[in-house]
Structure 1
Amino acid sequence: MNRISRLKSLMAARGIDALVTFKPEHSFYLSGFNPIIFSHPVIAILPAEGEPVILVHALRDDHGRSESWVKDIRLYGAWSTKVTMGPNWQDALRAILAEKGLDASVLGVEEDYLPVTRHRLLTELLPKAKLVDSSAVFDRARLVKDADEIANVRVAAALADIGMDAAQDALAQGGSEREIATSSMAAMNGHWALHLPDHEVADFGSLEGGAQNGLWTWALAGDRMFRNCDNPTQRKPQRGEAVAVFIWAIANGVHAENERTFAYGPLPDANRRAIDTILKIREDIAPAMRPGAPLAELFHITKRGLEDAGYAANIPGRIGHTIGLGAHEHTSLDGKTDVILEPGMLFTLEPNLRVPDRGVATQISDTILITETGHEFLTQSRGGYIEV
């Protein structure tokens, strides 16, 4: 797979002999297996030479073998008649690394994910190994999507579009924030249930819980838009208010994002002008979304456009982010990033405005794919100025 080749090239450049990952998104990235709930860790091992190994608790054995493309699946713990390598993952991991001659090598671990206690445990467990941070290795490899990831994000984007259409209808009927959100999620789930038999919509869990369904919508009306993210309430939008709808959808582990600002009836001039400014900036950005262009240039175009429109005091910290296994991956569309766009990259485009003293806020976002010749909007629900 291309992602395995990318990871191995990055490992070689950094002198890493094997990756050892506990992060749910990354064990999935290396195996295709998402157990959903992580009451016990799933550990993926990628040697610089050779194929990946997945270490799972015995109770996840049947699930893992039915979904993973990795052939070498090892078990730990106790579960019914399952034969395992022992009662805990620590001894099993050490045995696997010793078997492959990696117990005294340079091992990459994600220091931005591992708790201090687990990092300390690994240091004690593998005293002859050198642990180095592999967080940037995964971040860089994940920037470019493989063909299967692109196919799945198209499905996720289509689900998000369905959710956005339903949210608009619920708002037009005078629905509350909660009614807008639940109508949107019901529409996405209904389409998934009827038309996508081969797709999972589970998100990634943690050691304390799972995420069985990752089709999420929330809505914020009026001055609640300044919260940026909050649980929807029973508040009903008032005529003349802007209403933001935020949607994250997922298909087979890959996310898409769709966000729109709706005008619930005619908006005050200040709010309308802000939306028109953002729409114009998005048009100005479009030619720069192409292979070979600096990602930071998208931010600089936005900054110049906001300054020219009189919003110099309201420049956002970023105008989007990469997306894929995470709804918010680590690379930001800001003025500092050194990423150069290339085909297969996926990000959200969301230049926005927040002017609290004028009660002005906008939130418009699409999921964008960089192609061989330019870019493609994967989310395609109605854009522009939308008044309901």
Structure 2
Amino acid sequence: MVMDTAIAYEKVRRIIDEMNLDAILITDRYNMRYIASYRGEGVIVLAGSGKTVITDSRYTEQVQRECEGYECADIAGKGYVACISSILDGQRKNSGNLRVGFENLSISYREYSEYSTGISGVEWISLDGKLDSLREIKTDEEIENIHTAESIGDKAFSHILEYLRPGITEKDVALELEYHMKKNGAEGLSFDTIAASGMNSSMPHAIPTDKTLNKGDFLTMDFGCIYEGYCSDMTRTVAIGKASDSMKYVYDTVLKAQTESMNMIKPGVRCNDVDAVARRIIADAGYGDCFGHGLGHSVGLFIHENPRFSPKCDDILKPGMVITVEPGIYIPGQFGVRIEDLVVVTEDGYRNLTGSEKKLIEI
């Protein structure tokens, strides 16, 4: 479903009013898509009632197609600084400085230096992630897009179960997952696919190699795709052949940690309290030192959004947040297990957007 950006634009207008800004520069690619449906390169300037995408000739037609209600300014012969300065000059009502908000988390020091020295009469105001925070609570349309992306991943997982066998490589697995997702409607990948077997599975973000799958291996697959700009994310760990008793114990511990932490999810609960449930279960099983990462992260236009399930995040869960639950145990030199689902917080709990089987599968 193609997003209606009017709601996002009104949210940004409220920030402009609350911060008493004369204009705002949007440079983060995900915020540009969220606010204007724009998928190209450039800068968006909101000044007064004006809405302008500044870019180069490669994207001018794209702006016309994607950004309804926006003007397009071509930097040809001028550059970004001159174009921005020209737009801001149109907002000057007196000799005082304009208050212009900018995304300090998404521009380089060089870019900031060019703006601050090349555009006079401006007080630059750091937004400090305020635009990113607008994306924390998803609309029904956004949730539908994420669910569609996750369903494409579910289909890829069902397919890969028929494909897996001893002798194929981790790279084979990753490529097959990616091909199947793109073949079934994905416009791209949420992140680089992880397919890690045997000892490699003890590395949470292992890169697929030419290592072959062998009987007695765990295989962890972490993958996701993009649909209408929105990401999916899921992880499943399966056994190639029969799993040993110790492998089953670790798997069951991870699954218990996920199940019980997910049961905590509802509006009003702190993110670090959900994380603590999974962490306690894994520690009680004797593997506390083998779970180093956070329990989960929000997902949207970008794969790693806020808030997050981690010991440091005390944000409160609210309806419409979409977040992963992905506990893991990683035993160096032996194997690792991670199980990840994607859930949306509802008015009275949560809804799981992931449909794939979670019981231990032995292939």
Fold similarity call, TM over 0.5: yes
Structure 1: stretches of 5+ with no match in the other structure: 79-85, 193-199, 203-212
Aligned to 1:111: 104
From the superposition, tell whether residues 53 and 242 of structure 1 become closer, same or farther in structure 2 (CA, over 3 Å): same
Output aligned runs, 1:52-201, within 5 Å.
Answer: 52-69=51-68, 71-78=69-76, 86-101=77-92, 104-172=97-165, 174-192=167-185, 201=187
**Correspondence 1:275 to 2:251:** yes
* SS at 1:52 equivalent: strand
Q: Write the distance in 2 (CA, Å) between the matches of 1:14 and 1:304.
A: 42
From the superposition, tell whether residues 297 and 8 of structure 1 become closer, same or farther in structure 2 (CA, over 3 Å): farther
Q: Which amino acid aligns with 2:45?
A: I
Cα contact 1:31–1:54 (8 A) shared by 2 = no
Match of 1:258 among 234, 244, 249: 234
Q: Write the distance in 2 (CA, Å) between the matches of 1:51 and 1:229.
A: 44
Match of 1:245 among 203, 221, 228: 221
Cα contact 1:167–1:180 (8 A) shared by 2 = yes
Aligned-pair Cα RMSD in Å = 2.3
Q: Write the distance in 2 (CA, Å) between the matches of 1:99 and 1:108.
A: 16
From the superposition, tell whether residues 301 and 145 of structure 1 become closer, same or farther in structure 2 (CA, over 3 Å): same
* 1:338 Cα deviation after fit: 2.5
Q: Which amino acid aligns with 2:31?
A: H
Q: Which amino acid aligns with 1:362?
A: V
- Please give the TM-score of this superposition, normalised by the length of structure 2: 0.90
* SS at 2:233 equivalent: strand
From the superposition, tell whether residues 257 and 306 of structure 1 become closer, same or farther in structure 2 (CA, over 3 Å): same
* 1:297 Cα deviation after fit: 1.4
Q: Which amino acid aligns with 2:87?
A: I
* 1:346 Cα deviation after fit: 1.0
Cα contact 1:185–1:215 (8 A) shared by 2 = no
Output aligned runs, 1:226-237, within 5 Å.
Answer: 226-237=202-213
Deviation readout 1:264-320 (Å, 9 max, x if unpaired): 122222222111011111121122211222122111111221222222333423111
From the superposition, tell whether residues 130 and 338 of structure 1 become closer, same or farther in structure 2 (CA, over 3 Å): farther
Cα contact 1:18–1:46 (8 A) shared by 2 = yes
Q: Write the distance in 1 (CA, Å) between the matches of 2:281 and 2:38.
A: 44
Q: Write the distance in 2 (CA, Å) between the matches of 1:227 and 1:294.
A: 28
* 1:12 Cα deviation after fit: 4.2
- Please give the TM-score of this superposition, normalised by the length of structure 1: 0.85
Q: Write the distance in 1 (CA, Å) between the matches of 2:323 and 2:32.
A: 22
Q: Write the distance in 2 (CA, Å) between the matches of 1:224 and 1:305.
A: 24
Q: Write the distance in 2 (CA, Å) between the matches of 1:336 and 1:215.
A: 24
Q: Write the distance in 2 (CA, Å) between the matches of 1:244 and 1:330.
A: 25
Q: Which amino acid aligns with 2:216?
A: G
Q: Write the distance in 1 (CA, Å) between the matches of 2:19 and 2:276.
A: 32
Cα contact 2:290–2:331 (8 A) shared by 1 = yes
From the superposition, tell whether residues 7 and 292 of structure 1 become closer, same or farther in structure 2 (CA, over 3 Å): farther
* SS at 1:144 equivalent: coil
Deviation readout 1:20-56 (Å, 9 max, x if unpaired): 1222112111110212xx4xxx111234x53633222
* 1:144 Cα deviation after fit: 0.8
Aligned to 2:196: 220
Q: Which amino acid aligns with 1:224?
A: N
Aligned to 1:319: 295
From the superposition, tell whether residues 360 and 214 of structure 1 become closer, same or farther in structure 2 (CA, over 3 Å): closer
Q: Write the distance in 1 (CA, Å) between the matches of 2:265 and 2:61.
A: 43
From the superposition, tell whether residues 137 and 5 of structure 1 become closer, same or farther in structure 2 (CA, over 3 Å): same
From the superposition, tell whether residues 179 and 299 of structure 1 become closer, same or farther in structure 2 (CA, over 3 Å): same
* 1:7 Cα deviation after fit: 3.2
Aligned to 1:377: 352
Cα contact 1:54–1:72 (8 A) shared by 2 = yes
Q: Write the distance in 1 (CA, Å) between the matches of 2:75 and 2:12.
A: 29
* SS at 1:362 equivalent: strand
Aligned to 1:210: none
Deviation readout 1:199-223 (Å, 9 max, x if unpaired): x715xxxxxxxxxx65853311111
Q: Which amino acid aligns with 1:23?
A: D
* 1:5 Cα deviation after fit: 3.2
Q: Which amino acid aligns with 2:107?
A: L
Aligned to 1:195: none
Q: Which amino acid aligns with 2:213?
A: P
Cα contact 2:271–2:313 (8 A) shared by 1 = yes
Aligned to 2:324: 348
Structure 2: stretches of 5+ with no match in the other structure: 1-5
Match of 1:329 among 305, 322, 347: 305
Q: Write the distance in 2 (CA, Å) between the matches of 1:298 and 1:4.
A: 32
Q: Which amino acid aligns with 1:382?
A: E
- Matched residues, percent identical? 21
* 1:250 Cα deviation after fit: 0.4
Cα contact 1:56–1:73 (8 A) shared by 2 = no
Q: Write the distance in 2 (CA, Å) between the matches of 1:132 and 1:100.
A: 16
